[in-house]
Amino acid sequence: MSATITPQKPSNPIANTLTSGQLPRRIELYVLLGALALSAVLLLLIGFNIAGWLVLAAVIYLIALGILSSVVETRRKATDRVVRGLVTVAFLLALAPLISTLYTVFSKGIGVINWNFITQTSASVFNPDTLEVTTQVGAWQAIVGTLIITGIAALISIPIGILTAIYLVEYAQPKQWLARTVTFLVDVMTGIPSIVAGLFAFSLFSIIVGPKAFSGFSASVALSVLMIPIVVRSCEEMLRLVPMDLREASFALGVSRFSTITKIVLPTAIAGIVTGVMLAIARVIGETAPIFMAASFTDNFNSNPFDGPMQTLPVMAYTGYKFPGQDIAASNDSAWGAALLLVFLVVILNLIARVVAKVFAPKGSR
């Protein structure tokens, strides 16, 4: 009589370890909602505050998530969840001022912007029927001045910045005295305060022209002092990202260095170069201090950058609060409208830069 052996089902410890010790899939969302509710209840007892509510909720969220993960999961998984939570909270904290600023500018400026505000200049209008003098709010002179001053600054800065970056990357030796000097000067110019650039431009043109040296070109020179180091640094980094193999392959075919730079290196790095240039333009287009020092401000329309003061959008926003007219409400409205127009202008320029970078980028990277 033979004994029968019943086969046992083999255990699978690997599958068990993979499926056990895991928190629910949406536990982070549940913990976040619970932290928001608990912090709201606690703050209602001592005085509710939105900023305190969010900070307390973030602290409760991180502590609760770390405790739950360490109890159910491994310590390594708990550390990973807490660190991800810290990064998320830090990102939201950094994003909060931006959202708050954009919301404030949009909410206060959207009611001011219309076709008349964009196409007309600020002036005092006399009504002969009612014998009333009303303030006509307009930003046309500021829009034109901003485009002219920033455009001239870009024409000065972009060629100088790109050529300097090409020299530092393609021609200069690392220990050459001229390359070290240029790099040092670029680093120094990066940290120059904007008001110093405005004082420099005003002093320079006061010596050349005379005491009445306010002009749009003077403001463009001040902005170019701020813009050149940004263009140099961004273009230099983009050119260094171009693989050396492309240059060596071009040299192996007998192509000159100049042709290699213009036909291989620059087209390969054009997307990054355009992005860097637009960052530099966005950096200087909102400057107030150098333009206020070099070009002053005016409500009159002036499209000649070489004669007389010029108005710009950032200076218009500043003077609307600092030097309001008889109608204080109208001056404040013009300030918020100019600020919102400046935001729209920066967004439009960045969208144009994206399109240009995509069109001229190498086919392999599209």
pTM of this prediction exceeds 0.85:
no
* pLDDT at 5 (0 to 100): 53
User: Highest mean pLDDT: which of 88-97, 144-153, 301-310, 350-359?
Assistant: 144-153
**pLDDT(17) > 50:** no
**What is the DSSP track for 215-268?**
-HHHHHHHHHHHHHHHHHHHHHHHHHTS-HHHHHHHHHTT--HHHHIIIIIHHH
Q: What is the mean pLDDT of residues 324-350?
A: 85
Q: What is the mean pLDDT of residues 335-359?
A: 86
Long-range interactions of 76-84: CB distance < 8 A, separation 24+: 81/28
Contact 117, 141 (CB under 8 A): no
6 burial class (0-12, 13-18, 19+ CB within 10 angstroms)?
exposed
Stretch among 8-22, 134-148, 228-242 having the lowest mean pLDDT: 8-22
**pLDDT(242) > 80:** yes
Residue 139, strand partner residues = 121
CA distance 40 to 42: 5
In 3D, which of 250, 244, 242, 245 has the Cα closest to residue 272? 242
- CA distances 297 to 58, 76, 252, Å, are 46, 60, 57
**pLDDT(84) > 90:** no
* pLDDT at 24 (0 to 100): 82
Domain 132-365 in CATH 1.10.3720.10: yes
Confidence of residue 71 (pLDDT cuts 50, 70, 90): confident
Question: Which residues belong to CATH 1.10.3720.10 in the chain?
Answer: 132-365
CA distance 82 to 66: 6
CA distance 255 to 257: 7
Confidence of residue 275 (pLDDT cuts 50, 70, 90): confident
Which one-letter amino acid corresponds to residue 32? Answer: L
- CA distances 129 to 126, 132, 133, Å, are 9, 8, 11
* pLDDT at 16 (0 to 100): 42
Q: What is the mean pLDDT of residues 318-342?
A: 84
**pLDDT(212) > 80:** no
pLDDT tens column, 116-159: 888 888 766 655 666 565 667 788 889 999 999 999 999 999 99
Side-chain half-sphere of 340: how many Cα atoms within 13 Å? 20
Average per-residue pLDDT for the chain: 83
- CA distances 197 to 147, 191, 232, Å, are 19, 11, 17
